[in-house]
Amino acid sequence: MPKLFAKILLLCALFAAFSSPARADQLSEDLRALNSSDRGKVESAVNSILARRDAQALSILVALLDDQLQVDAAGNAYRVAEDGSVTVLSPGAPPKPENGKPPLVDNQLRRTLEPAIASLRLTSPDKDVRLEAAEDLAKRRNDELAPVVRKALSVEKDSEVKAKLELALAPLDLSGTDVALKLRALHAIEASADPNFKPDVERVLERTPSGEFVEKNPEVRLAADSAKAAIELRALWFGLIGHLFYGLSLGSVLLLAALGLAITFGLMRVINMAHGELLMIGAYSTYVVQKAFQSYLPDHSDWYLVFSIPVAFVVSAAIGVLLERSVIRFFYGRPLETLLCTWGISLILIQTVRLIFGAQNVTVANPSFIAGGVELLPGFVLTYSRVAVILFAAVVVAFVWFMLQRTPLGLHVRAVTQNRAMAASMGISTRRVDMWTFGIGSGVAGLGGVALSQLGNVGPELGQGYIVDSFMVVVLGGVGKLAGTLAGAFGLGIVNKLLEPVAGAVLGKIAILVFIILFIQRRPQGIFALKGRAAEVS
């Protein structure tokens, strides 16, 4: 008996050894047949590849359906993506196709391929492959594939995959007459709470012109009500999360715009109406670095954003120092004159940028590592660029905090802010502190321009839309207080985004302005007020 068993194992091994090359030769033959002009040969080749029912066959057929399959003269298969990247689908094949030819895929062949691929994926031994196929079928809603889905559902054992298959059949089942299938479909929709199925559920609850329900079965209507409520509840929660996310994003932009203003306004009491133009200069610095990378380092163009951060900071800081030394230092202690003076400077900067770059907006492209996003719900996309702006704002705040709290310059800035006369009597050069502080505040504004360049187009009047909001943030949070700037920026950003869906953009902005006016009347020092002698001197 043991000898007989050993002989059987030997025969199986020999069969596998001889059949494997035969299967490989047959696959090469089938692949070459895909390029045939004979429709019968092509369909026969597709059926032969499908009969293999393995991962390689699935990869080949999916590439064929996506119009990305190429077959060389030796019968090797390759997937060639739109960006030119090549994936070898035949083991042992050269890395790139030599004289590869894409098979012609017409509508008739697509109608053959779609159910074949769906069947192949739904019968895969890998649960993840089956689950992905079921989710794809639930999104595509192809009624022609219903027989394939029903057959897969009848043999599927995994509860997660079964739920997705039931969801894929839900629209078709709801349009039928079988009450059991309708209830199963509605329970599947309720469990998923997918907003894409809301129109299907609402059709179940439609009424005739006389006011009677189209659906006569009360149990089905009750299930439809429950499914609709689940969908609306999920949409409400995701809508709230979306508003909070966009509020954090707007708050981060306001924070970057107001952070430099909080430093200069808190120290020197200079009403800098040109602060928005420093944001614009940072954005245009990013644009210039991008163009330089595209011209001289095209293979590394994604890195332009990393290099634009120090460039924007230095350029904006240098312009800030130049303005402070040449104009602003002569107007200290005269707030009305500084307002008019810096307003004139803002007009000069806008016109200068127009002369250099033109009046039209310029585009700063997102690098590939922050391009795109994740769709958490229809209509709500978590964009990587906005997430990057939020993280960038956190880094900038940490940098400003470190500079103010852990450096000699920060110590001098805090001393001058609290009591300028006492700091001067202790040997601190207040004029030099003013210069460096104005430069750092301007540089931080330039960093805000880098962030803004990733959220929209860059134009000469970019900063005009943020100067008023920046002053609101500084005044609401408390002049010269970093914590107040944080609270003011994120508070205004989140409240603004929560009010927009309810009251509209204009009324929401008016409501915020009225709130700030009433709040400042009640608490003129802002959320975080200076205390003690600093408040007295102010």
Q: What is the mean pLDDT of residues 172-181?
A: 85
**SS3 readout for 68-79:** CEEECCCCCEEE
Establish if 232 belongs to a structural domain.
no
Which of 216, 248, 281 terminates a domain? The answer is 216
Lowest mean pLDDT segment, chosen from 17-31, 48-62, 395-409 = 17-31
| Cα distance between residue 436 and residue 403, in whole Å | 12
Q: Are residues 113 and 175 part of one domain? A: no
CA atoms lying within 13 Å on the CB side of residue 45: 24
Q: pLDDT: is 94 or 283 the higher one?
A: 283
Mean pLDDT of 6-20: 41
pLDDT tens, position by position, 406-448: 888 888 888 887 788 888 888 888 888 888 888 988 999 999 9
Predicted pLDDT at 292: 93
Which pLDDT band holds residue 378 (cuts at 50, 70, 90)? Answer: low
**Do both 479 and 345 map to the same domain?**
yes
CATH of the domain at 383: 1.10.3470
In a domain, 225, yes or no: no
69 φ, ψ to 5°?
A: -90, 135
Provide the pLDDT confidence category of residue 143 given band limits of 50, 70 and 90.
Answer: confident
413 and 509 share one domain: yes
Q: How far apart are CA 367 and CA 75, in angstroms?
A: 38
If one counts every other C-beta atom within 10 angstroms of the C-beta of residue 452, the result is 25
Task: State the CB neighbour count (10 A cutoff) for residue 98.
Answer: 10
Alpha helices by DSSP H, 211-360: 218-268, 275-296, 304-326, 335-357
* Helix (H) / strand (E) containing 80: strand 77-80
Q: What is the pLDDT of residue 31?
A: 74
Tokens of residue 415, six digits: 């001393």
d(Cα 377, Cα 242) in Å, to the nearest integer? 9
Pairing of strands 373-377, 380-383: antiparallel
Residue 538 has pLDDT above 60, yes or no: no
Domain membership of residue 251 (yes or no) is yes
Answer yes or no: is pLDDT of 350 > 90: yes
Looking at the fold, whether 464 and 512 belong to one and the same domain comes out as yes
pLDDT of residue 163: 86
Residues 6+ apart with CB under 8 A from 466: 253, 254, 257, 276, 279, 448, 452
- Per-residue pLDDT at 480: 62
Average pLDDT over residues 3-27: 47
- Do 247 and 296 lie in one domain? The reply is yes
Span 88-99, pLDDT tens digits: 777 777 777 777
Residue 2 falls within a domain, yes or no?
no
pLDDT at 398 over 60: yes
pLDDT tens column, 30-59: 777 776 767 777 777 777 777 776 777 778
* Residue 201 lies inside a defined structural domain of this protein: yes
Q: Are residues 100 and 207 in the same domain?
A: no
Query: Of 184, 201, 216, which marks where a domain is finished?
Result: 216
**Nearest-angstrom CA–CA distance, 202 and 224:** 8
Q: What is the pLDDT of residues 248-268, one digit of tens each?
A: 888 888 888 888 888 777 667
Examine the domain organization and report whether 145 and 29 are in the same domain.
no
Cα–Cα dist 455/24, whole Å:
51
**Is the pLDDT confidence value at 10 over 50?**
no
Predicted local confidence at residue 267, as pLDDT: 66
**Chain position carrying tokens 């309708």:** 182
Per-residue pLDDT for 6 more than 90? no
Range of lowest pLDDT (12-26, 37-51, 79-93, 152-166) = 12-26
Q: Are residues 175 and 297 in the same domain?
A: no
Q: How many beta carbons lie within 10 A of that of residue 72, not counting itself? A: 20
* pLDDT digit string, tens, across residues 445-481: 999 999 999 888 899 988 888 888 888 888 888 766 7
Residue 459 belongs to what H/E stretch? none
- Do 309 and 199 lie in one domain? The reply is no
Burial of 49 (0-12, 13-18, 19+ CB in 10 A): buried
Among residues of the chain, what percentage have pLDDT more than 70? 89
The average pLDDT across 84-110 equals 75
Of 22-26, 245-249, 439-443, minimum mean pLDDT range: 22-26
pLDDT > 80? residue 186? yes
Q: Is the model's pLDDT at 20 over the cut of 90?
A: no
CA 232/CA 34 separation, integer angstroms:
48
pLDDT over threshold 80, residue 4: no
Backbone angles phi, psi at 278, to 5 degrees: -70, -35
Domain with 97 in it: 24-117
Structure tokens at 155: 């043999």
**Mean of all residue pLDDT scores within the chain:** 81
Does residue 197 sit within a domain?
A: yes
Instruction: Residue 414: count other Cβ atoms within 10 Å of its Cβ.
Output: 16
* Helix/strand/coil for 531: coil
Distance from C-alpha of 229 to C-alpha of 257, rounded to nearest angstrom: 41
Q: Look at residue 17 and tell me if it is in a domain.
A: no
Which of 173-182, 371-380, 495-504 is most confident?
A: 173-182
32 plus 176 within the same structural domain: no
- Of 333-342, 344-353, 519-528, the poorest mean pLDDT is in 519-528
Query: How many domains does the chain contain in total?
Result: 3
Confidence tier at 305 by pLDDT (50, 70, 90): very high
Q: Report the pLDDT averaged over residues 168-197.
A: 86
For residues 318 and 37, the model is more confident at 318
Quick one: angle between helices 159-174 and 146-155, nearest 10? 140
Split at pLDDT 50, 70, 90, the class of 379 is low
CA–CA dist 52, 60 (Å, integer) = 11
For residue 294, pLDDT beyond 80: yes
Q: Show which of 97, 117, 137 is a domain's final residue.
A: 117
Task: Compute the half-sphere exposure of residue 237: CA atoms within 13 Å on the CB side of its CA.
Answer: 9
Same domain, 326 and 346: yes
Residue 23, pLDDT score: 52
Query: Quick one: pLDDT at residue 534?
Result: 43
Within-domain flag for 443: yes
Q: Kindly state whether residues 435 and 488 are assigned to the same domain.
A: yes
Residue 184, exposed/middle/buried by CB under 10 A (0-12, 13-18, 19+)? middle
